[in-house]
Chain A
Amino acid sequence: MNVLGISAYYHDSAAALVKDGEIVAAAQEERFNRIKHYDQFPSQAAAYCLKEGGLALDDIDYIGFYDKPLLTFNRLLETYLAFAPRGLGSFVQAIPVWVKEKIFQKGLILKELKALGLGAIEEKQILFSHHHHSHAASAFYPSPFDSAAILVMDGVGEWATTTLGEGNGSEINLAKEIRFPHSLGMLYSAFTYYLGFAVNDGEYKVMGLAPYGEPKYTSLIYDNLIDVKDDFSFRLNMDYFNYCTGLTMTNTRFDALFGAPRHAPEAPLGQRQMDLAASIQTVTEEIVLKLVAALHRDTGQKNLCLAGGVALNCVANGRILREGPFENIWIQPAAGDAGASVGVALTIARTLGHAEKNPANGTSDAMKGTYLGPAYGGEEIRSVLVDHGASYNELNNNELLSDIAGYLAGGKVIGWFQGRMEFGPRALGNRSILADARSESLQRVLNLKIKYRESFRPFAPAVLAGDASQYFDLEEESPYMLLVAPVEKSRRKTVSDADNARIGLDKLNVVRSEIPAVTHVDYSARVQTVHEDTNPKLHSLIDAFKKLTDCPVLVNTSFNVRDEPIVCSPEDAYRCFMATEMDVLVLENFVLLKEDQ
């Protein structure tokens, strides 16, 4: 049975293809059309999935849509009625769009599919799943577990903001939920907004900023904004928020509570912003840990699966792993709405197609390293390079690995483009920028001259899986860069009292470990363990680098500049390479040096 999963019309639209229970392809539309967080129908992603699977629409048994539009409309309507007449403005503004797009969504999806020109499909083949069920399925079905507890947390699904349940074999049972407007994701986004960042995009910045601050405002948050009950549930005090009735996240009472209006976007960040970020991060972690404890108590499972946007909070994930009661955790790498396309497709394959659960062997999952996007052949790459008049060399594998390892050790920054594109928000070594983690100056250079983003933002390490525990306090695998772990004590450097006394962004200038480029100011690192079976080429490259330098760690950051989607094609990669101060571009086995261009 062939199922095409679709996620669209909210944010981050995506498509995924499941053939007889196997995830064959998945990709986000933004990578193709280059519009970040694109939320309309994922035409190019869907066409790509069909092509990758060698299928036409006629070969597809079902189209799965990740959300039930009528339920979502219901939420809007009821939210309005509950708060009427306060939200008339935003409600009136939302209605025409919802009526047009959401209520008639089945027709709309059908129309878009037909417009692909890739064969015929009928309306009855389109099925809808609950939003949080799609997330839960994306977390449990591809996981390495036969049974597990499931926790889904995001801004809001149709109604649910937090869902708890468990999976056994092909069955998923979602027992409890917390409903809109009480949402941990919305609370985090409210602070993201208040700190001057963009909602649904700036959450990473809040998480990155948090270690610079002190959690001074946690009691203010607990006393006024959120009420956490013993039974795991929580309620937000809606007097302080505006997202039910308005078009902003927070209101003037919120401003009064924290003593100032919203921080202006792009304005310099001070200690106050860092303290606010630290406070909301701490509260989020504490609540997530409570939820996880309750879930463990209720289900008695030893494994935990996570999905939903909040599951991208890798600092909280690290704490669940270290402090929580579960033995194993697995997080869907495309934890946001894009990944729900995989969830709905797998749900249909399991329930209607009777597909077996993936080969659950307790160690490897069914996401194939999340390398589920398009790959490009040598001739395609060559023609892009020739069109641009680029100067390049084509090397064999051995030459490539030793040359690039040498460049890395010499402090050069490499654009690394290999094989199939990653699905989900992280670049995991196929569309990555790589550099030497031992460098003291690279964090600044990478942020300011390559990514063009704020200097405080940390970079993540890619480490050989076999060496991970020698550099980080981490025994488990973290192939998807979703766990934050402390840098191993023996790798840390003594920091002088004067350096310890530094505050705010000045903390950046202190060298804290042998791998300073990936050590955050609180000694944490968002680790990617690199495995030979899922990414042999990157594994060999780091191995070659280790032979030269005795260090099995590289900086791995996504191949893009700020506010642009990660690159997809060789053309995108060439443009990004040329527009930044990257030194070397590697497209499969083609190597370009900036100085030769």
Chain B
Amino acid sequence: MTGSPGAAISKKILRNLKAPSGSNDTSLDIFEDRFQCRETGEDFGFVDSVPSLYGTLDADGVDVTGRVKSFYEENPFPNYEGLEEFGQLVQKGSQNPFSADLLGAIGYNKTILECGCGTGQLSHFLQLNNNYVLGIDMSLSSLKLAEEHRQRNQLQRSAFIQMNIFDLAIKDNSFDVAISHGVLHHTYDAKKAFGHIVQKLKPGGIIMVGLYNSYARIPTWIRSKLINLLGPKIDYVVRNRIVDERKAEIWIKDQYFNPHETWHSVDEVLGWFEEFGVAFRNCSPAILGTSGEGAENLFAKTEPGNSYQRAITQMSWIGSIAREGALFDVIGEKAGPA
């Protein structure tokens, strides 16, 4: 029944899973309190009643991963404002241009992988339109909130599993859409993580990656030096967006006291695309002077412009997206037949 997390993972998601570090030929069955590998009989127990396929940590990343994980265990992000009903979540999502455009661009009946789903709001919203969404994160306390919301509202098509981005317990070429919005810059190697995610995408599938921008993040960095002195009100989002106190506190921690963050440029991401066989589709906010400015939707095919246009665009972001986290998203299509 819907009450237990086990049975809540729909077949459309379950058939895309494999054992952590296992081969693509392994498959999993799900029980009340654990996954079991059909081929090897190995059990993967839930942790704190959250489904978990966490796998092993990369030796190079142990330090960063450990610090970031304990940070988000303490500060589940982005958190809910009070006891939010699904109806309110949908209202907010439809009024927010980013999530509304994203859902519109994704369309109907898709399987979606969200890497670094945190407390799961975006995953919950994207399961509208009969989409099936798997949200993964390493923070159990975040996933617990996501799962709690899912159960309370009896949502059938979003599912949450604790996983490690560098050892995804997901079969290659299995999802229609993969999203990682504001996550990879907290991993020890963002490019490597990107490569892992692309692997899980079907040929012709769409990937969207959202990262801190090297230009636009500068004002946040300056604020981080002042915030202890001047207080949280110097942050635009706290002043204008957040009502709930706990949520505001977590936003401030995430933005100014994160144990690890890296900054990235559009050109750098284009390099990743090249390396992992992803064709550029679009960028949000749009690259100035390109067809992206009039794009029909977030996933529309547009031109990435030249390096001069991209530099100007990113400088302009210091005056725009900088106040709300300085995230930019690049969208691409994995090579191969759609």
Contact = CB atoms under 8 A, between A and B. Distances in A.
Given A448-B153, A578-B108, A562 B128 contact: no
B91 A452 contact: yes
A388 B110 CA distance: 13
Contacts of A449: 86-87, 153-154
A580 B87 contact: no
Interface string B102-141: 0000001100000000000000000011100000000000
B108 A452 contact: no
Contacts of B129: 578-579
Contact of A597 (B86, B87, B130): B130
B108 A455 contact: no
A68 interface: no
Which of A388, A562, A579 has the most CB atoms of chain B within a 10 A radius of its CB? Answer: A579
Contacts of B88: 266
A578 to B, nearest CB: 5
A332 B25 CA distance: 66
A453 interface: yes
Interface in A381-417: 388-389
Contacts of B218: none
Contacts of B85: 448, 455
A293 to B, nearest CB: 42
Contacts of A448: 85-87, 153
Interface string A443-481: 000011101111100000000000000000000000000
A457 to B, nearest CB: 11
A389 B108 CA distance: 10
Contacts of A451: 87
A580 B91 contact: no
A389 B109 CA distance: 10
Contacts of B86: 448-449, 452
B87 A594 contact: no
A561 B129 CA distance: 13
Contacts of B128: 578-580
A594 B91 contact: no
A580 B130 CA distance: 8
A578 B94 CA distance: 14
Interface string B64-98: 00000000000000000000011110110010000
A594 B130 contact: yes
Interface in A97-119: none
A388 B109 CA distance: 10
Interface string B193-212: 00000000000000000000
Which of B87, B109, B130 has the most CB atoms of chain A within a 10 A radius of its CB? Answer: B87
A562 B130 CA distance: 19
Chain A interface helix/strand/loop/mixed: loop
A562 to B, nearest CB: 7
Contacts of A447: 87
A597 B87 CA distance: 23
Interface in A274-296: none
Contacts of B91: 452, 562-563
A516 B268 CA distance: 59
Contact of A452 (B90, B109, B130, B154): B90
B313 to A, nearest CB: 32
B105 to A, nearest CB: 14
Which of B86, B94, B108 has the most CB atoms of chain A within a 10 A radius of its CB? Answer: B108
B158 to A, nearest CB: 12
A454 B154 CA distance: 17
A389 B129 CA distance: 13
Nearest to A594: B130
A597 B109 contact: yes
Interface in A488-521: none
A200 B153 CA distance: 31
A408 B249 CA distance: 47
B153 A578 contact: no
B130 A453 contact: no
A455 B91 CA distance: 13
B87 A453 contact: yes
A452 B90 CA distance: 7
A388 B130 CA distance: 13
B107 to A, nearest CB: 9
Interface in A578-593: 578-580
Nearest to A267: B243
A322 to B, nearest CB: 34
Interface string B141-159: 0000000000001100000
B87 A578 contact: no
A561 B154 CA distance: 19
Contacts of B130: 578, 594, 597
B108 A597 contact: yes
A562 B93 CA distance: 13
Nearest to B82: A268
A389 B110 CA distance: 12
Interface in A251-276: 266
B43 to A, nearest CB: 30
Nearest to B85: A448
Interface in B148-194: 153-154
B139 to A, nearest CB: 27
A483 to B, nearest CB: 28
Interface in A545-597: 561-563, 578-580, 594, 597
Nearest to B128: A579
Contacts of A563: 91
Contacts of B108: 388, 578, 597
A449 B128 CA distance: 10
B100 to A, nearest CB: 11
B175 to A, nearest CB: 18
Interface in A230-266: 266
A454 B90 CA distance: 12
A563 B130 CA distance: 21
Interface in A365-395: 388-389
Contacts of A578: 108, 128-130
Nearest to B157: A581
B293 to A, nearest CB: 24
Nearest to B109: A597
Contacts of A561: 90
Nearest to A577: B130
25 contacts: A266-B88, A388-B108, A448-B85, A448-B86, A448-B87, A449-B87, A449-B153, A449-B154, A451-B87, A452-B87, A452-B90, A452-B91, A452-B94, A454-B87, A455-B85, A455-B87, A562-B87, A563-B91, A578-B108, A578-B128, A578-B130, A579-B128, A580-B128, A597-B108, A597-B130
Given A449-B153, A452-B86, A455-B87, 14 more contacts: A389-B109, A447-B87, A448-B86, A448-B87, A449-B154, A451-B87, A452-B87, A452-B90, A563-B91, A578-B108, A579-B128, A594-B130, A597-B109, A597-B130
Interface of B: 85-88, 90-91, 94, 108-109, 128-130, 153-154
What 9 pairs across the A-B complex have the smallest Cβ distances?
A452-B87, A448-B87, A452-B90, A578-B129, A578-B108, A597-B130, A579-B128, A597-B109, A578-B130
